Structure 1
């Protein structure tokens, strides 16, 4: 459901996000010596790294996180990267080796690949806008309220610590969560002045474009053809299980980690080809960036690049022990740089938060078919991407230095099948714990090499088309025809793909992402959505009634947990998640109706400074009912109805 921002506010917020996405990371990457596509690809990762480090370290120093301190931290990190690079050059702590990929791209090729990345970004914009049903629509899935409240908390309080934003729901101490996503979102929120739902949408809009850029940087690093890079970018913008499906599940930071994962191969390959302090700094920043984007992203990146290491050792381009020895200092430097995150992750793992695996049991054949068709719950298979994936698999030898991607696809697809088909087995649950035993997350991870293989298949189809036409006698007789033929064949192939896929599957992908907003053709069959326009109206009315310092009692089962993100008023229940709730929140949800007769209820109300009650309509899940302590409040003598509409009501507690 929409919040009050206009489309033009949304557009300006997207522009601000793109600037924030590029500038801090680009400055750090350039200072570290990156250039060209490596710089362009790693810039978003380094932005999330820079701001993701800034918040926790500023909190350790007792300083607030805001635009000013974020700029200072960016300059500090860029200065450190530049200083280390200059030191390495001055002391000779670099080694010789190949810096430029062996395949030369013409200027025209660079522009064509950039156009493909732009196309993927445009596709992403179209998909998200069509899915949301409005430029400032509210996400309706499980974790999105936590992310929304986290962004608002950081922006309002300046607390960039790894435990702070969780205090909205798990008070008073909070809970660990990697918050680079939220720190970037908080900066966009402060700079744009837009509502939090608008900020969340703006940060989501270019997700497939970031994926495309990451794949292009990877193909370029490993010496792939420009056509391959462009095709990979187009596949990134069209594949449902790449960027879009994680968004549809509300896994917004996880989706970010997925689209940045290919960059781990870029940084690792640069370091292995030319070990040195400068390339080691870049790899350290990239590894830390994966950890900060999402904890599971680092585990996924390790699995993704493991076949790269195996191929390197098999072809005797390096030896296991020396390579692993060189990586030890990188690991130590990463641990020091991201020390607050590692300590926080350890404390979370040892804490009381319950781990609840999904336990999927799909037939193996169905799981394999989902991989091949780039979908899990869509009714429409992405047939043409499946065809190009098969072609890419059959021509995997043509990948050259990227042949390891085939083994990566086999490894990650195998893990997906294990979790999708045997997710209830204890050893599978243990193996997949970084991904919460969730087949949707592991499908997204497997989609990375599968998208590369499909892009390779599309590029090989273009090569075959150009070769076939080039064999015609009238073509052979023209000296200028081969270059023009390559351009024409690539353009024709992309145009045909756009037609046969109905605009690169934008409609199918919009339906998939629409699940995040409960906005898809069959959504009316599900029932009342958690956050309606009327509930947003009630939250805004509460903003006029309540004191900003108070907390509002609400039911964590409906959409009222969004009240903090939208108004800044803290709810008693700040997340749908019922795991380890604060004692007062748990007691009030069970017994608030007994306010007149139960002194413990009144004491809890007093401790939390609760003055109003906000109840919405519907539930995050259709089979979840309202908490017993908040049922049938009308007519109770200690409450006065202050505002109501068809979906929500606000009460004042009469003391």
Structure 2
């Protein structure tokens, strides 16, 4: 299942992704007046905003999406943000500052505190890399779960064609009309593929490995915006990289764009808070950009961000820090700007919703006690409750009042946890299906959403432990007699507590999280005796197809045996470019049912000619054990219109001879 890329190509691809992830967003954020941790935390979302808007709008203007045009759109957005900021300064609406522009006084972080928090974010990123690489079993492994082939083919399609539209990449599978999918994730990854020289599986892995690190960075930015202590920021960053249900379970399920949306969600509260505290053209535009970026990353991300941040509004109005009608009017105005920015996405969403693609709810019905237990112990995929995080969560809940301006997190946790329990326990009820439609009635997605505030509450529990320990240490006579030790008591106790957490969790649950993520690669213990959908020999055969096929040729393949990856691997368009059998093109259905009747059925011969098919690629094992090979592709060996031109243990390539 690996691809022939070297470790150094993989390492350089990760580095390139981090540059692509941060630099465009930093450019826009600096122009908008952001500084410090808020700038760093918002940079990934603003990058995805720029890419997610660039692709569809450039397509509408008849322009290709590539590195140059994406950079041009980024500069345009930075120019607008900077212009609005400059106008606000000149009109006296905002006083320029070298630090974070915030209407609330910040809790003072010492230089040492900033360094410690930065170290926590770095540690979270390192943990994320270790978890994903351990799960994959190597740097070049191919993702094996359901949707990952669609994302892989989509990245290759955008890079090869320059088509950044919302229906274009879906044409790899639905080749007659395409299919809608929000594509900011793929639009950021496509330049990484174009510039790195790596294979698509390597690019997918490179984009995935820092996912929990991004989560940690966004959490830190949120804590900083709301004036939280450095201990809270650092503790939350560590918890974000430790909790299985945060970023890792979504990756485990192959929900890569959804996982991205989850880890970016916390900064929605940041832009909301900044806009409400100092309404202005610059803060309003930043709010609109963030909303647009969340929607472009994944359709459910904006809905989840609204649920996450609504308690912040309620707390603001309860404390009489703002008035309801003016706040709502401003938010609607900024929302209208966001709506204009994502107009292509809105139109595509409406078209897709009115189309024939089926909606199939999961109808989960686990016991309520099980659902609550999974929530509190941060586990769902594995039967391995994270009890130390559960203990921290309990402490965080009991110390809820000391969250001060972040008490709204408690209500956010309650809302999202209730939604998870409803879907997990009563998923077959029509009202639950309707309410949870943005998340496809999937309890795994709702658990990831609930994990955002729960991780912060657990991080708060960790920070409170540090506070109590530091207070106790500072009261000891031997510390009072040493002034220098007294000053560093906070840092010392934080280090000791983190070290203790690392020990009792066996390395911040890295092995457990790697086992969970390994499901995405069929690399978990129970998979030892089961053939994987995309094997090493099938990858070799797909690369061979790339050598055999002429430009513009399509290859006939089985939808379920892993060969849907052929476009991502070799650049040859398949008849089936996704495992999803929903509403397939008529020609794909015809060939799947009747291709072996090539000599007797003129419809088959016409379809082969119409689609320019000259080769047939068949793999071995199926994406699901219950899926069988289509009747029309069975028992092709010995057919007089086919000639085998390549064969190995898991795959065969036939040439159509007439």
Name the TM-score, length of structure 2 as normaliser. Answer: 0.98
Structure-2 separation of matches of 1:14 and 1:519? 22
Matched, 1:381 2:368: no
Look up the match of 1:554: 557
Structure-1 separation of matches of 2:258 and 2:105? 30
Structure-1 separation of matches of 2:656 and 2:48? 43
Structure-2 separation of matches of 1:388 and 1:144? 34
**Corresponding residue to 1:564 among 562, 567, 571:** 567
Matched, 1:630 2:633: yes
Structure-1 separation of matches of 2:16 and 2:62? 28
**Corresponding residue to 2:546 among 540, 543, 561:** 543
Structure-2 separation of matches of 1:483 and 1:383? 33
**Corresponding residue to 2:614 among 597, 611, 621:** 611
- Three-state SS of the structure 1 residue aligned to 2:146 is coil
**Corresponding residue to 1:599 among 598, 602, 605:** 602
**Cα pair distance change 1:61/1:540, threshold 3 Å:** same
What does 1:133-532 align with in structure 2 at a 5 Å threshold?
A: 133-525=137-529, 527-532=530-535
- Three-state SS of the structure 1 residue aligned to 2:483 is coil
- Three-state SS of the structure 2 residue aligned to 1:215 is helix
Matched, 1:121 2:119: no
- Three-state SS of the structure 2 residue aligned to 1:298 is helix
Structure-2 separation of matches of 1:101 and 1:587? 67
1:641–1:650 contact (8 Å) kept in structure 2: yes
- Three-state SS of the structure 2 residue aligned to 1:103 is coil
1:38–1:221 contact (8 Å) kept in structure 2: yes
1:48–1:293 contact (8 Å) kept in structure 2: yes
Look up the match of 2:49: 49
Structure-2 separation of matches of 1:631 and 1:98? 66
Q: How far does residue 134 in structure 1 lie from its aligned partner after superposition?
A: 1.3
Structure-2 separation of matches of 1:136 and 1:276? 47
Q: How far does residue 381 in structure 1 lie from its aligned partner after superposition?
A: 1.5
Look up the match of 2:11: 11
Once superposed, what is the RMSD of the aligned Cα atoms? 1.2
Structure-1 separation of matches of 2:272 and 2:484? 39
Query: Which structure 2 residue ranges, 5 or more long, are not aligned?
Result: none
Residue deviations 1:489-520 (CA, integer Å, cap 9, x gap): 00000011111111101000000000000001
2:249–2:381 contact (8 Å) kept in structure 1: no
Q: How far does residue 102 in structure 1 lie from its aligned partner after superposition?
A: 2.6
1:94–1:275 contact (8 Å) kept in structure 2: no
More off after superposition, 510-519 vs 344-353: 344-353
Residue deviations 1:512-534 (CA, integer Å, cap 9, x gap): 00000000111124x21110000
**Cα pair distance change 1:605/1:227, threshold 3 Å:** same
More off after superposition, 325-334 vs 296-305: 325-334
Q: How far does residue 554 in structure 1 lie from its aligned partner after superposition?
A: 0.4
Residue deviations 1:79-109 (CA, integer Å, cap 9, x gap): 1111111122223445999445430101111
Residue deviations 1:236-291 (CA, integer Å, cap 9, x gap): 11110001000000000000000000000000001111111111111111111111
More off after superposition, 167-176 vs 574-583: 167-176
Structure-2 separation of matches of 1:167 and 1:441? 26
Matched, 1:85 2:85: yes
Query: Which structure 1 residue ranges, 5 or more long, are not aligned?
Result: none
More off after superposition, 84-93 vs 590-599: 84-93
2:102–2:225 contact (8 Å) kept in structure 1: no
Matched, 1:573 2:549: no
**Cα pair distance change 1:63/1:220, threshold 3 Å:** same
Structure-1 separation of matches of 2:449 and 2:141? 27
- Three-state SS of the structure 2 residue aligned to 1:317 is coil
Q: How far does residue 548 in structure 1 lie from its aligned partner after superposition?
A: 2.7
Q: How far does residue 377 in structure 1 lie from its aligned partner after superposition?
A: 2.1
Look up the match of 1:39: 39
**Cα pair distance change 1:98/1:599, threshold 3 Å:** closer
**Corresponding residue to 2:648 among 622, 645, 651:** 645
Structure-1 separation of matches of 2:318 and 2:399? 20
1:214–1:262 contact (8 Å) kept in structure 2: yes
Name the TM-score, length of structure 1 as normaliser. Answer: 0.99
1:292–1:341 contact (8 Å) kept in structure 2: yes
More off after superposition, 380-389 vs 41-50: 380-389
- Three-state SS of the structure 2 residue aligned to 1:69 is helix
Look up the match of 2:114: 110
1:241–1:443 contact (8 Å) kept in structure 2: yes
- Three-state SS of the structure 2 residue aligned to 1:318 is coil
Structure-2 separation of matches of 1:470 and 1:105? 19
Structure-1 separation of matches of 2:223 and 2:486? 23
- Three-state SS of the structure 2 residue aligned to 1:522 is helix
Q: How far does residue 547 in structure 1 lie from its aligned partner after superposition?
A: 1.0
1:95–1:276 contact (8 Å) kept in structure 2: no
Structure-2 separation of matches of 1:584 and 1:10? 38
Q: How far does residue 469 in structure 1 lie from its aligned partner after superposition?
A: 2.3
Structure-2 separation of matches of 1:81 and 1:485? 42
Structure-2 separation of matches of 1:500 and 1:248? 24
- Three-state SS of the structure 2 residue aligned to 1:375 is coil
Q: How far does residue 471 in structure 1 lie from its aligned partner after superposition?
A: 2.2
Structure-2 separation of matches of 1:603 and 1:501? 62
Structure-1 separation of matches of 2:40 and 2:94? 23
2:89–2:95 contact (8 Å) kept in structure 1: no
Residue deviations 1:522-577 (CA, integer Å, cap 9, x gap): 1124x211100000011111112111311000010110000000000000001000
Look up the match of 1:22: 22
- Three-state SS of the structure 2 residue aligned to 1:480 is helix
- Three-state SS of the structure 2 residue aligned to 1:123 is helix
1:95–1:274 contact (8 Å) kept in structure 2: no
